[in-house]
């Protein structure tokens, strides 16, 4: 309830790589790094590092990598976006207005999602 974006709250933070095999499997199953193969994603963890440093450092009470990612996975399991969209008739491969997508997500989560279009698939936003 701070009415500001919570990004990069600790600019000097460092990322501590996850080395627990069980946690790595859960992360890869639920929060796959699509820009690298499975072995590289587990070894280098670039995407997860980015997400933790940008968002996890702002997550009060979940300020370790493991605590933040466990919370993120619980939220993902609770609010499965593909299921939410499908329930509103929104399926991959078709075109929909941003308003219809926001309405579908807000109807379940009670929050307006921050959506944007990526015009350059060769340079995805993180």
pTM for this entry: 0.67
Q: Which sequence spans correspond to the domains of the chain?
A: 21-78, 79-125
The mean pLDDT of the chain is 85
Task: Calculate the CA 104 to chain-centre distance.
Answer: 18
Distance, CA of 46 to CA of 74 (rounded, Å): 21
pLDDT digits (tens, 9 = 90+) for 54-79: 999 988 888 799 999 999 899 888 88
Residue environment code for 96-123, b if the CB has 16+ CB neighbours within 10 A, otherwise e = eeeeebeebbeebeeeeeeeeeeeeeee
Scan for tokens 């070894």, then name that residue. Answer: 43
pLDDT > 90? residue 34: no
What pLDDT is attached to residue 126? Answer: 47
């Amino acid at each position: 309830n701070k009415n500001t974006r919570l990004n990069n709250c600790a600019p000097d933070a460092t990322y501590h790589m996850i080395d627990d095999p069980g946690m790595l499997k859960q992360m890869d199953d639920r929060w796959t790094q699509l820009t690298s193969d499975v072995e590289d994603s587990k070894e280098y963890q670039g995407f997860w590092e980015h997400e933790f440093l940008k968002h996890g450092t702002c997550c009060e009470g979940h300020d370790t990598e493991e605590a933040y990612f466990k919370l993120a996975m619980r939220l993902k399991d609770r609010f499965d976006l593909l299921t939410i969209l499908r329930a509103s008739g929104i399926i991959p491969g078709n075109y929909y207005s941003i308003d219809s997508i926001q309405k579908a997500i807000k109807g379940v989560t009670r929050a307006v999602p921050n959506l944007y279009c990526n015009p350059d698939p060769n340079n995805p936003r993180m």
